[in-house]
Amino acid sequence: MAERLHTQNYINGEWCDAALGAVFPVDNPATKELIEEVADSTTTDVERAIDAAYDAFAFWSTTSPIERARLLHRWFCLIVEHTDVLANLMTRECGKPFVESKGEVAYGASFVEWFAEEAKRIYGDIIPAATPDRQLLVHKAPIGVCAAITPWNFPLAMITRKCAPALAAGCTVVVKPAEGTPLTALALAALAEQAGFPAGVFNVVCAAHGVEVGRVLSTHEKVRKLSFTGSTAVGKQLLKQSAETVKRVSMELGGNAPFIVFDDADLEQAIQGALASKYRNSGQTCVCANRFIVQDTVYEQFAERLKEATEALKVGNGLDAGIAIGPLINGAAVGKVSELVRCAINDGARALCGAQTHSAGDNFYMPTVLTEVSPSMAIASTEIFGPVSTLIRFTEEAEAIHIANATPFGLAAYFYTEDRHRMWRVADALDYGMIGVNEGIISTTLAPFGGQKQSGMGREGSMYGIDEYLELKYVCMGGMK
């Protein structure tokens, strides 16, 4: 695969140009240099990929779980074998530090390994019948062609987290990667081809502007399942479009994660959790801590320690040694973060450090700590998606829970306390799909990933993840004697 950069779509087991021959540039956000030009698909290309997946489903859905598991495991081994190549490519595409990219390769590969095993554990049931002349059977069948629309901030793991369970279940897939990071998706396709997946089972179509592609994937009658990770606004539009054909949908949408620090917390542990949760991928993750809600009795101490730790983070090109903070994905992202910080300071927030762009380049923003932030500020209600920590004061536990829950989003939440009773009480009270207690990194293959409220629906990963790609089929066998 691996040393070669694939730039064409991968459809029906073939590498092919876009129907109209158009291409679009993929740039390195750290240097702004051109990496490659990639096929820019039209609706014709997407429909061709859907047709290929639909035709392949007829035979792929009937392959044995053992065969599906064998191919998935081979794909897993190839991903691990090419860790450094994939990580280097990912850092060049999205800017995250190389060590984080390597971590994502391992994380993404873990979903392929996990669902390779789950393919062999798709069990049905026999239900005791009310009369002896009947047998009531329930078995699980693959749902059909699945579409996956994935984001730029985790260009490898979001594909494997969606596609590995689909393939394990016997579904075929069409992937539309983010326009900023298509090369990683195409590299995964090359490894899937090398692993031996049959033509049409795994397809990748790239496009510079995803609106039309998304419309085809969400409205096409041959697509029976759509999985999307991205903004709530786009997710709502895809939901509306999917309703026309009553598709199964999984939506992992925006977040506004609270990070509560109680006065009985281990502050050193809380600082380490804060750094891990806030500054991973330069704050560009959906589960990043967005609001630090800190009890007033430890507020100043926590703020000072967080400032010192934040100032120590090294900013630069993610391929350089020792870098903790890479670039934001593009100039628009820098502009958004800069404006949120400017407005917060104008409204009374105080910058302990950062609060400006960085000399490393146009797409770099300095790691920032803002204190005296109030819940009414725009920066407290907006997903920042940048390396900015905002500190909000609270006095009583009930106040902290109210502030944390006062958002339409409900993806991830974190809190730190040494009180065992409080751990259960606060975890029950927080209206979020995932909660970290004394832990800043909660994502794992073993646990269900997903949110509540306007952060989405459905779960990915874990023993529950494969159910998103299966239909329950009930069979009543009468006349049994």
pTM over 0.75: yes
Residue 64, exposed/middle/buried by CB under 10 A (0-12, 13-18, 19+)? Answer: exposed
* Distance linking the first and last C-alpha atoms of the chain: 58
How far apart, in whole angstroms, are the C-alpha atoms of residue 42 and residue 216? 10
Q: What is the predicted pLDDT for the residue at 481? A: 78
CA distance readout (Å), 184 to 32, 167, 229, 260: 18, 19, 16, 35
pLDDT in tens, the chain (481 residues): 546 799 999 999 999 999 999 999 999 999 999 999 999 999 999 999 999 999 999 999 999 999 999 999 999 999 999 999 999 999 999 999 999 999 999 999 999 999 999 999 999 999 999 999 999 999 999 999 999 999 999 999 999 999 999 999 999 999 999 999 999 999 999 999 999 999 999 999 999 988 999 999 999 999 999 999 999 999 999 999 999 999 999 999 999 999 999 999 999 999 999 999 999 999 999 999 999 999 999 999 999 999 999 999 999 999 999 999 999 999 999 999 999 999 999 999 999 999 999 999 999 999 999 999 999 999 999 999 999 999 999 999 999 999 999 999 999 999 999 999 999 999 999 999 999 999 999 999 999 999 999 999 999 999 999 999 999 999 999 998 7
Q: What is the predicted pLDDT for the residue at 3? A: 62
**Boundaries of every domain in the chain:** 9-253+455-475, 257-445
Q: Thinking of the domain 9-253+455-475, which architecture would CATH place it in?
A: 3-Layer(aba) Sandwich (3.40)
CATH superfamily for 257-445 is Aldehyde Dehydrogenase; Chain A, domain 2 (3.40.309.10)
Tell me which residue of 414, 411, 408 sits closest to 457, measured CA to CA.
411
The one catalytic residue in 94, 146, 206, 286 is 286
CB-CB contact of 400 with 430 (8 Å): no
How far apart, in whole angstroms, are the C-alpha atoms of residue 248 and residue 471? 10
CB-CB contact of 340 with 372 (8 Å): no
343 is catalytic: no
The one catalytic residue in 113, 118, 179, 252 is 252
286 is catalytic: yes
How far apart, in whole angstroms, are the C-alpha atoms of residue 343 and residue 349? 9
284, two tokens: 């560009």
